[in-house]
A and B are shown apart, each in its own frame.
Chain A
Amino acid sequence: MFNANQITSTFVRIKLQERQLLLPLDNRFNLESMTALQDKPGDIETDPMIGAVLIGDTHFPVYHLADDFSCISHRPARTGDREMILLLSHDEYQFGLLCRELSLVEANDIYLSRLPEAMRSADGLVEQVWVDGSIAVGLLYPTMLMAYLISLGACSQQQLTQAHVRLGSQLHHQNTLAFSGGLDEPS
Protein backbone atom coordinates (compact mmCIF):
# COMPACT_ATOMS: atom_id res chain seq x y z
CA MET A 1 0.00 0.00 0.00
CA PHE A 2 1.27 3.40 -0.91
CA ASN A 3 2.06 5.45 2.15
CA ALA A 4 1.29 9.08 1.48
CA ASN A 5 2.71 10.06 4.86
CA GLN A 6 6.20 9.44 3.54
CA ILE A 7 6.07 12.02 0.78
CA THR A 8 4.18 14.87 2.30
CA SER A 9 4.13 16.51 5.68
CA THR A 10 0.79 18.24 5.38
CA PHE A 11 -2.64 17.38 4.09
CA VAL A 12 -5.59 19.56 3.37
CA ARG A 13 -8.84 18.21 4.74
CA ILE A 14 -12.00 19.23 2.95
CA LYS A 15 -15.69 18.52 3.28
CA LEU A 16 -17.88 18.30 0.19
CA GLN A 17 -21.45 17.71 1.43
CA GLU A 18 -21.07 15.12 4.17
CA ARG A 19 -18.03 13.40 2.70
CA GLN A 20 -14.64 14.38 4.02
CA LEU A 21 -11.46 14.04 2.01
CA LEU A 22 -7.78 14.36 2.60
CA LEU A 23 -5.50 15.68 -0.15
CA PRO A 24 -1.70 15.50 0.11
CA LEU A 25 -0.45 19.04 -0.03
CA ASP A 26 2.32 20.14 -2.35
CA ASN A 27 3.32 23.23 -4.30
CA ARG A 28 0.48 22.84 -6.77
CA PHE A 29 -2.04 23.97 -4.17
CA ASN A 30 -3.32 27.33 -3.20
CA LEU A 31 -6.04 28.15 -0.74
CA GLU A 32 -8.39 31.02 -1.36
CA SER A 33 -11.55 32.17 0.31
CA MET A 34 -14.84 32.15 -1.52
CA THR A 35 -15.10 35.92 -1.68
CA ALA A 36 -13.33 36.12 -5.05
CA LEU A 37 -15.72 33.78 -6.83
CA GLN A 38 -16.91 35.31 -10.10
CA ASP A 39 -19.77 34.29 -12.34
CA LYS A 40 -18.87 31.91 -15.11
CA PRO A 41 -18.73 33.23 -18.65
CA GLY A 42 -22.03 32.68 -20.39
CA ASP A 43 -20.66 30.76 -23.33
CA ILE A 44 -19.34 27.84 -21.25
CA GLU A 45 -22.80 26.68 -20.44
CA THR A 46 -22.05 23.02 -21.01
CA ASP A 47 -19.28 23.10 -18.48
CA PRO A 48 -20.33 22.11 -14.99
CA MET A 49 -18.33 24.90 -13.35
CA ILE A 50 -20.20 27.22 -10.98
CA GLY A 51 -17.90 30.22 -11.38
CA ALA A 52 -14.29 31.24 -11.55
CA VAL A 53 -11.54 32.73 -9.44
CA LEU A 54 -9.03 35.08 -11.00
CA ILE A 55 -5.54 35.04 -9.47
CA GLY A 56 -3.24 37.37 -11.37
CA ASP A 57 -3.70 36.42 -15.00
CA THR A 58 -4.90 32.92 -14.21
CA HIS A 59 -8.52 31.89 -14.18
CA PHE A 60 -9.48 28.98 -11.95
CA PRO A 61 -12.81 27.42 -12.95
CA VAL A 62 -14.57 26.42 -9.76
CA TYR A 63 -16.56 23.21 -9.33
CA HIS A 64 -19.03 22.13 -6.72
CA LEU A 65 -18.99 18.37 -6.16
CA ALA A 66 -21.49 16.15 -4.44
CA ASP A 67 -20.40 13.33 -2.17
CA ASP A 68 -20.49 10.89 -5.09
CA PHE A 69 -18.27 13.30 -7.08
CA SER A 70 -21.04 14.27 -9.45
CA CYS A 71 -20.95 17.95 -10.40
CA ILE A 72 -23.55 20.24 -8.89
CA SER A 73 -24.21 23.02 -11.35
CA HIS A 74 -25.29 25.69 -8.89
CA ARG A 75 -23.73 27.46 -5.98
CA PRO A 76 -24.88 26.36 -2.56
CA ALA A 77 -27.03 28.65 -0.49
CA ARG A 78 -24.59 30.57 1.64
CA THR A 79 -24.83 29.46 5.22
CA GLY A 80 -22.09 31.70 6.46
CA ASP A 81 -18.46 32.15 5.62
CA ARG A 82 -17.53 28.49 5.91
CA GLU A 83 -17.48 27.70 2.22
CA MET A 84 -13.96 27.79 0.91
CA ILE A 85 -12.35 27.20 -2.43
CA LEU A 86 -9.39 24.91 -2.81
CA LEU A 87 -7.36 25.85 -5.87
CA LEU A 88 -5.41 23.18 -7.72
CA SER A 89 -2.94 23.53 -10.57
CA HIS A 90 -1.51 20.99 -12.93
CA ASP A 91 0.04 21.80 -16.32
CA GLU A 92 -2.46 23.81 -18.33
CA TYR A 93 -5.31 22.97 -16.00
CA GLN A 94 -6.27 24.95 -12.95
CA PHE A 95 -9.29 24.18 -10.85
CA GLY A 96 -11.10 25.38 -7.82
CA LEU A 97 -13.16 23.12 -5.61
CA LEU A 98 -15.88 24.49 -3.40
CA CYS A 99 -15.69 23.02 0.09
CA ARG A 100 -17.94 23.33 3.09
CA GLU A 101 -15.01 23.06 5.40
CA LEU A 102 -11.30 23.18 4.84
CA SER A 103 -8.39 22.76 7.21
CA LEU A 104 -4.79 21.65 7.30
CA VAL A 105 -3.71 18.44 9.01
CA GLU A 106 -0.20 17.33 9.86
CA ALA A 107 0.86 13.96 8.48
CA ASN A 108 1.92 12.82 11.95
CA ASP A 109 -1.71 12.88 13.03
CA ILE A 110 -2.85 10.63 10.22
CA TYR A 111 -2.94 6.87 9.91
CA LEU A 112 -4.23 5.59 6.60
CA SER A 113 -5.97 2.24 6.16
CA ARG A 114 -7.25 0.46 3.10
CA LEU A 115 -10.90 1.10 2.47
CA PRO A 116 -12.64 -2.30 2.27
CA GLU A 117 -13.33 -3.23 -1.33
CA ALA A 118 -17.08 -3.36 -0.91
CA MET A 119 -17.07 0.26 0.19
CA ARG A 120 -15.22 1.64 -2.79
CA SER A 121 -17.16 3.63 -5.29
CA ALA A 122 -17.23 2.71 -8.93
CA ASP A 123 -15.12 5.80 -9.73
CA GLY A 124 -12.22 4.27 -7.80
CA LEU A 125 -10.99 7.66 -6.62
CA VAL A 126 -10.71 6.79 -2.93
CA GLU A 127 -8.87 3.65 -1.85
CA GLN A 128 -7.59 4.62 1.58
CA VAL A 129 -9.18 6.28 4.57
CA TRP A 130 -8.17 7.86 7.80
CA VAL A 131 -10.59 7.16 10.63
CA ASP A 132 -10.74 10.26 12.80
CA GLY A 133 -12.94 9.26 15.71
CA SER A 134 -16.28 8.37 14.14
CA ILE A 135 -15.51 10.09 10.84
CA ALA A 136 -14.00 8.39 7.81
CA VAL A 137 -11.81 10.75 5.79
CA GLY A 138 -10.92 9.45 2.32
CA LEU A 139 -7.52 9.99 0.75
CA LEU A 140 -7.79 11.63 -2.65
CA TYR A 141 -4.88 12.44 -4.92
CA PRO A 142 -5.23 15.86 -6.61
CA THR A 143 -4.06 14.54 -9.97
CA MET A 144 -6.78 11.90 -9.89
CA LEU A 145 -9.33 14.53 -8.97
CA MET A 146 -8.21 16.76 -11.83
CA ALA A 147 -8.24 13.87 -14.28
CA TYR A 148 -11.75 13.09 -13.11
CA LEU A 149 -12.89 16.68 -13.59
CA ILE A 150 -11.37 16.76 -17.06
CA SER A 151 -13.20 13.54 -17.89
CA LEU A 152 -16.41 15.32 -16.92
CA GLY A 153 -15.69 18.03 -19.45
CA ALA A 154 -14.00 20.57 -17.24
CA CYS A 155 -12.49 23.45 -19.17
CA SER A 156 -8.84 24.36 -19.31
CA GLN A 157 -7.26 27.66 -18.39
CA GLN A 158 -6.92 28.48 -22.10
CA GLN A 159 -10.61 27.83 -22.80
CA LEU A 160 -11.68 29.85 -19.82
CA THR A 161 -9.42 32.76 -20.69
CA GLN A 162 -10.77 32.77 -24.25
CA ALA A 163 -14.31 32.73 -22.91
CA HIS A 164 -13.60 35.66 -20.64
CA VAL A 165 -11.98 37.55 -23.52
CA ARG A 166 -15.07 36.92 -25.65
CA LEU A 167 -17.31 37.94 -22.77
CA GLY A 168 -15.28 41.09 -22.23
CA SER A 169 -15.46 41.84 -25.94
CA GLN A 170 -19.23 41.41 -25.96
CA LEU A 171 -19.63 43.66 -22.95
CA HIS A 172 -17.39 46.26 -24.57
CA HIS A 173 -19.45 45.99 -27.77
CA GLN A 174 -22.71 46.42 -25.86
CA ASN A 175 -21.37 49.40 -23.97
CA THR A 176 -20.19 50.94 -27.20
CA LEU A 177 -23.62 50.49 -28.76
CA ALA A 178 -25.29 51.94 -25.72
CA PHE A 179 -22.96 54.92 -25.80
CA SER A 180 -23.35 55.53 -29.53
CA GLY A 181 -27.15 55.30 -29.14
CA GLY A 182 -27.02 58.15 -26.73
CA LEU A 183 -27.59 58.00 -23.04
CA ASP A 184 -29.97 60.20 -21.21
CA GLU A 185 -28.19 62.80 -19.22
CA PRO A 186 -28.86 62.42 -15.55
CA SER A 187 -31.25 65.08 -14.40
Chain B
Amino acid sequence: VNTVLAINTLISVIVLGSIYSLVTVGYVVVFRASRVFNFLHPQLMFIGALMFTSVASGGVAGFLMGTVVSVVAMALLGGVVYLVAVHRTLGQDHWIQTILTMGLGVAFLNAAQFIWSPNYRIVKPPFKEVTWSIAGGGKVSSTDVLIVVSSATLSAALYWALSRSSWGLRFRATAEDPALCAYGGMRLKWWFCAAWAVAAAAAAIAGIGYSMRVPVDPGLSEVGLAAFPAAMIGGMDSISGAFAGAFVLAFIQQYGTAFWGPTVATPIAFACVLLLLVFRPNGLFGSQQVGRV
Protein backbone atom coordinates (compact mmCIF):
# COMPACT_ATOMS: atom_id res chain seq x y z
CA VAL B 1 0.00 0.00 0.00
CA ASN B 2 1.72 3.18 -1.16
CA THR B 3 1.05 6.73 -0.05
CA VAL B 4 -1.33 7.59 -2.88
CA LEU B 5 -3.42 4.48 -2.24
CA ALA B 6 -3.42 5.12 1.51
CA ILE B 7 -4.61 8.71 1.09
CA ASN B 8 -7.27 7.95 -1.50
CA THR B 9 -8.48 5.06 0.64
CA LEU B 10 -8.79 7.47 3.56
CA ILE B 11 -10.88 9.82 1.40
CA SER B 12 -13.12 6.91 0.43
CA VAL B 13 -13.48 6.05 4.14
CA ILE B 14 -14.70 9.57 4.85
CA VAL B 15 -17.19 9.56 1.95
CA LEU B 16 -18.49 6.06 2.61
CA GLY B 17 -18.59 6.67 6.38
CA SER B 18 -20.68 9.80 5.76
CA ILE B 19 -23.25 7.82 3.81
CA TYR B 20 -23.21 4.94 6.29
CA SER B 21 -23.76 7.37 9.17
CA LEU B 22 -27.05 8.57 7.71
CA VAL B 23 -28.20 5.00 7.18
CA THR B 24 -27.04 3.91 10.61
CA VAL B 25 -28.73 6.75 12.45
CA GLY B 26 -32.02 5.53 10.97
CA TYR B 27 -31.49 2.07 12.45
CA VAL B 28 -30.64 3.60 15.80
CA VAL B 29 -33.54 6.06 15.96
CA VAL B 30 -36.07 3.27 15.38
CA PHE B 31 -34.34 0.92 17.80
CA ARG B 32 -34.20 3.57 20.50
CA ALA B 33 -37.87 4.30 20.14
CA SER B 34 -39.29 0.84 19.74
CA ARG B 35 -36.47 -1.71 20.30
CA VAL B 36 -37.02 -3.01 16.80
CA PHE B 37 -34.27 -3.98 14.36
CA ASN B 38 -35.75 -2.26 11.34
CA PHE B 39 -34.88 -4.34 8.28
CA LEU B 40 -37.25 -2.27 6.17
CA HIS B 41 -34.73 0.57 6.41
CA PRO B 42 -32.59 -0.46 3.37
CA GLN B 43 -35.66 -0.53 1.15
CA LEU B 44 -36.69 2.93 2.36
CA MET B 45 -33.26 4.11 1.24
CA PHE B 46 -33.88 2.61 -2.19
CA ILE B 47 -37.40 4.02 -2.50
CA GLY B 48 -36.23 7.46 -1.37
CA ALA B 49 -33.66 7.50 -4.16
CA LEU B 50 -36.23 6.27 -6.68
CA MET B 51 -38.65 8.99 -5.64
CA PHE B 52 -35.88 11.55 -6.09
CA THR B 53 -35.30 10.41 -9.69
CA SER B 54 -39.01 10.92 -10.40
CA VAL B 55 -39.22 14.35 -8.83
CA ALA B 56 -35.86 16.06 -9.35
CA SER B 57 -35.26 18.17 -12.42
CA GLY B 58 -31.98 19.61 -13.66
CA GLY B 59 -29.85 22.25 -11.96
CA VAL B 60 -29.24 23.08 -8.33
CA ALA B 61 -32.82 24.27 -7.72
CA GLY B 62 -34.30 21.11 -9.23
CA PHE B 63 -31.91 18.97 -7.21
CA LEU B 64 -32.82 20.70 -3.96
CA MET B 65 -36.53 20.57 -4.75
CA GLY B 66 -36.27 16.86 -5.54
CA THR B 67 -34.43 16.24 -2.29
CA VAL B 68 -36.97 18.13 -0.17
CA VAL B 69 -39.98 16.46 -1.80
CA SER B 70 -38.44 12.98 -1.53
CA VAL B 71 -37.42 13.43 2.09
CA VAL B 72 -40.84 14.75 3.13
CA ALA B 73 -42.62 11.98 1.20
CA MET B 74 -40.41 9.32 2.77
CA ALA B 75 -40.95 10.76 6.24
CA LEU B 76 -44.69 10.46 5.67
CA LEU B 77 -44.27 6.92 4.37
CA GLY B 78 -42.19 5.98 7.42
CA GLY B 79 -44.85 7.37 9.74
CA VAL B 80 -47.64 5.60 7.88
CA VAL B 81 -45.76 2.28 7.99
CA TYR B 82 -45.51 2.61 11.74
CA LEU B 83 -49.17 3.54 12.24
CA VAL B 84 -50.60 0.99 9.83
CA ALA B 85 -48.35 -2.00 10.45
CA VAL B 86 -45.84 -1.79 13.28
CA HIS B 87 -48.07 -0.11 15.86
CA ARG B 88 -50.52 -2.98 15.61
CA THR B 89 -47.84 -5.31 16.95
CA LEU B 90 -47.14 -3.14 19.99
CA GLY B 91 -46.88 -5.30 23.05
CA GLN B 92 -45.71 -8.31 21.07
CA ASP B 93 -42.18 -9.62 21.40
CA HIS B 94 -39.69 -7.45 19.53
CA TRP B 95 -38.61 -10.34 17.34
CA ILE B 96 -42.12 -10.42 15.89
CA GLN B 97 -41.79 -6.78 14.94
CA THR B 98 -38.35 -7.45 13.46
CA ILE B 99 -39.76 -10.27 11.33
CA LEU B 100 -42.56 -7.90 10.31
CA THR B 101 -40.02 -5.36 9.04
CA MET B 102 -38.29 -8.11 7.05
CA GLY B 103 -41.58 -9.05 5.41
CA LEU B 104 -42.39 -5.43 4.72
CA GLY B 105 -38.92 -5.05 3.21
CA VAL B 106 -39.56 -7.79 0.65
CA ALA B 107 -42.99 -6.33 -0.13
CA PHE B 108 -41.66 -2.78 -0.50
CA LEU B 109 -38.77 -3.89 -2.73
CA ASN B 110 -41.16 -5.63 -5.11
CA ALA B 111 -43.69 -2.80 -4.95
CA ALA B 112 -40.94 -0.32 -5.83
CA GLN B 113 -39.91 -2.42 -8.81
CA PHE B 114 -43.53 -2.61 -9.89
CA ILE B 115 -44.04 1.15 -9.64
CA TRP B 116 -40.71 2.35 -11.04
CA SER B 117 -39.79 -0.80 -13.06
CA PRO B 118 -36.68 -2.83 -12.21
CA ASN B 119 -34.53 -0.78 -14.60
CA TYR B 120 -31.89 1.30 -12.92
CA ARG B 121 -31.99 5.08 -12.91
CA ILE B 122 -29.17 7.57 -12.77
CA VAL B 123 -28.90 10.55 -10.43
CA LYS B 124 -26.90 13.41 -11.88
CA PRO B 125 -25.03 15.72 -9.49
CA PRO B 126 -26.39 19.27 -9.71
CA PHE B 127 -23.12 20.64 -11.14
CA LYS B 128 -20.29 19.65 -13.44
CA GLU B 129 -17.88 17.21 -11.83
CA VAL B 130 -14.56 18.74 -10.78
CA THR B 131 -11.58 16.95 -9.19
CA TRP B 132 -9.03 18.58 -6.93
CA SER B 133 -5.56 17.22 -6.12
CA ILE B 134 -4.44 17.31 -2.52
CA ALA B 135 -1.15 16.57 -0.76
CA GLY B 136 0.34 13.11 -1.22
CA GLY B 137 -1.38 12.44 -4.55
CA GLY B 138 -4.90 12.32 -3.11
CA LYS B 139 -7.86 13.26 -5.31
CA VAL B 140 -11.15 14.70 -4.12
CA SER B 141 -14.13 15.12 -6.42
CA SER B 142 -16.88 17.71 -6.12
CA THR B 143 -19.42 14.89 -5.65
CA ASP B 144 -17.36 13.56 -2.72
CA VAL B 145 -17.35 17.04 -1.16
CA LEU B 146 -21.10 17.43 -1.67
CA ILE B 147 -21.79 14.07 -0.03
CA VAL B 148 -19.53 14.71 2.95
CA VAL B 149 -20.64 18.30 3.57
CA SER B 150 -24.36 17.58 3.25
CA SER B 151 -24.05 14.42 5.32
CA ALA B 152 -22.05 16.20 8.04
CA THR B 153 -24.58 19.04 8.16
CA LEU B 154 -27.55 16.72 8.38
CA SER B 155 -25.83 14.46 10.87
CA ALA B 156 -25.04 17.43 13.11
CA ALA B 157 -28.63 18.62 12.85
CA LEU B 158 -29.95 15.16 13.67
CA TYR B 159 -27.54 14.80 16.58
CA TRP B 160 -28.63 18.16 17.99
CA ALA B 161 -32.31 17.40 17.47
CA LEU B 162 -32.13 13.95 19.02
CA SER B 163 -29.62 14.59 21.79
CA ARG B 164 -29.73 18.26 22.76
CA SER B 165 -33.13 19.77 21.93
CA SER B 166 -36.16 19.62 24.21
CA TRP B 167 -37.87 17.60 21.51
CA GLY B 168 -34.96 15.18 21.66
CA LEU B 169 -35.19 15.02 25.45
CA ARG B 170 -38.82 13.89 25.24
CA PHE B 171 -37.91 11.56 22.47
CA ARG B 172 -35.23 9.92 24.61
CA ALA B 173 -37.61 9.71 27.51
CA THR B 174 -40.17 7.75 25.50
CA ALA B 175 -37.45 5.35 24.49
CA GLU B 176 -36.01 4.86 27.96
CA ASP B 177 -39.19 4.64 30.01
CA PRO B 178 -42.31 4.51 27.87
CA ALA B 179 -44.58 3.57 30.77
CA LEU B 180 -43.57 6.61 32.79
CA CYS B 181 -43.98 8.87 29.77
CA ALA B 182 -47.44 7.47 29.13
CA TYR B 183 -48.40 8.16 32.74
CA GLY B 184 -47.06 11.69 32.24
CA GLY B 185 -49.50 12.26 29.37
CA MET B 186 -47.18 11.82 26.39
CA ARG B 187 -48.84 10.17 23.42
CA LEU B 188 -46.35 7.40 22.74
CA LYS B 189 -47.97 6.36 19.49
CA TRP B 190 -47.13 9.70 17.87
CA TRP B 191 -43.62 9.83 19.30
CA PHE B 192 -42.86 6.38 17.92
CA CYS B 193 -44.44 7.43 14.64
CA ALA B 194 -42.12 10.46 14.58
CA ALA B 195 -39.10 8.19 15.12
CA TRP B 196 -40.05 6.11 12.09
CA ALA B 197 -40.57 9.27 10.07
CA VAL B 198 -37.14 10.66 11.02
CA ALA B 199 -35.48 7.32 10.20
CA ALA B 200 -37.19 7.14 6.80
CA ALA B 201 -36.16 10.72 6.01
CA ALA B 202 -32.54 9.91 6.89
CA ALA B 203 -32.74 6.82 4.69
CA ALA B 204 -33.96 8.93 1.77
CA ILE B 205 -31.08 11.39 2.14
CA ALA B 206 -28.58 8.52 2.33
CA GLY B 207 -30.15 6.93 -0.74
CA ILE B 208 -29.90 10.15 -2.76
CA GLY B 209 -26.31 10.69 -1.61
CA TYR B 210 -25.20 7.19 -2.53
CA SER B 211 -27.01 7.40 -5.87
CA MET B 212 -24.67 10.16 -6.97
CA ARG B 213 -21.98 7.46 -7.11
CA VAL B 214 -23.89 4.47 -8.52
CA PRO B 215 -27.19 4.00 -10.39
CA VAL B 216 -30.39 3.59 -8.42
CA ASP B 217 -31.25 -0.07 -8.62
CA PRO B 218 -32.36 -2.77 -6.16
CA GLY B 219 -28.71 -3.26 -5.20
CA LEU B 220 -28.98 0.03 -3.33
CA SER B 221 -30.95 -1.72 -0.61
CA GLU B 222 -27.97 -4.05 -0.14
CA VAL B 223 -25.83 -1.01 0.66
CA GLY B 224 -28.36 -0.12 3.33
CA LEU B 225 -28.09 -3.60 4.76
CA ALA B 226 -24.28 -3.42 4.62
CA ALA B 227 -24.45 -0.46 7.00
CA PHE B 228 -26.31 -2.44 9.65
CA PRO B 229 -23.10 -3.73 11.32
CA ALA B 230 -22.13 -0.09 11.84
CA ALA B 231 -25.11 0.34 14.15
CA MET B 232 -24.05 -2.74 16.10
CA ILE B 233 -20.47 -1.47 16.37
CA GLY B 234 -21.56 1.93 17.66
CA GLY B 235 -24.33 0.60 19.86
CA MET B 236 -27.90 0.13 18.70
CA ASP B 237 -29.27 2.83 20.99
CA SER B 238 -26.56 5.47 20.65
CA ILE B 239 -26.81 8.36 18.20
CA SER B 240 -23.14 9.30 18.60
CA GLY B 241 -22.32 5.59 18.40
CA ALA B 242 -24.11 5.43 15.04
CA PHE B 243 -21.75 8.01 13.58
CA ALA B 244 -18.67 6.39 15.12
CA GLY B 245 -19.72 2.90 14.01
CA ALA B 246 -20.27 4.10 10.45
CA PHE B 247 -16.72 5.39 10.14
CA VAL B 248 -15.22 2.37 11.91
CA LEU B 249 -17.01 0.02 9.49
CA ALA B 250 -15.97 2.07 6.46
CA PHE B 251 -12.37 2.12 7.74
CA ILE B 252 -12.25 -1.65 8.21
CA GLN B 253 -13.87 -2.35 4.84
CA GLN B 254 -11.75 0.04 2.81
CA TYR B 255 -8.35 -0.61 4.37
CA GLY B 256 -9.16 -4.32 4.53
CA THR B 257 -9.73 -4.17 0.77
CA ALA B 258 -6.52 -2.19 0.25
CA PHE B 259 -4.41 -4.67 2.21
CA TRP B 260 -6.05 -8.03 1.58
CA GLY B 261 -8.50 -7.54 -1.29
CA PRO B 262 -12.31 -7.35 -1.35
CA THR B 263 -12.88 -11.07 -0.88
CA VAL B 264 -11.14 -11.00 2.48
CA ALA B 265 -12.28 -7.52 3.55
CA THR B 266 -15.96 -8.38 4.03
CA PRO B 267 -15.33 -11.38 6.33
CA ILE B 268 -12.79 -9.28 8.24
CA ALA B 269 -15.38 -6.55 8.76
CA PHE B 270 -17.89 -9.02 10.15
CA ALA B 271 -15.21 -10.75 12.23
CA CYS B 272 -14.42 -7.38 13.82
CA VAL B 273 -18.11 -6.89 14.59
CA LEU B 274 -18.30 -10.33 16.20
CA LEU B 275 -15.14 -9.73 18.20
CA LEU B 276 -16.41 -6.39 19.41
CA LEU B 277 -19.75 -7.85 20.41
CA VAL B 278 -18.00 -10.57 22.42
CA PHE B 279 -16.18 -8.00 24.54
CA ARG B 280 -18.70 -5.14 24.33
CA PRO B 281 -22.12 -6.66 23.65
CA ASN B 282 -23.73 -3.22 23.61
CA GLY B 283 -21.26 -1.79 21.11
CA LEU B 284 -18.82 1.06 21.60
CA PHE B 285 -21.35 3.58 22.93
CA GLY B 286 -24.46 1.50 23.64
CA SER B 287 -26.07 1.67 27.06
CA GLN B 288 -26.01 -1.27 29.45
CA GLN B 289 -29.29 -3.15 29.65
CA VAL B 290 -30.16 -4.23 33.18
CA GLY B 291 -32.42 -7.22 33.51
CA ARG B 292 -34.23 -7.64 36.83
CA VAL B 293 -35.79 -10.86 38.00
Are A and B bound to each other?
Answer: no
Binding site for B on A (CB under 8 A): none
Binding site for A on B (CB under 8 A): none
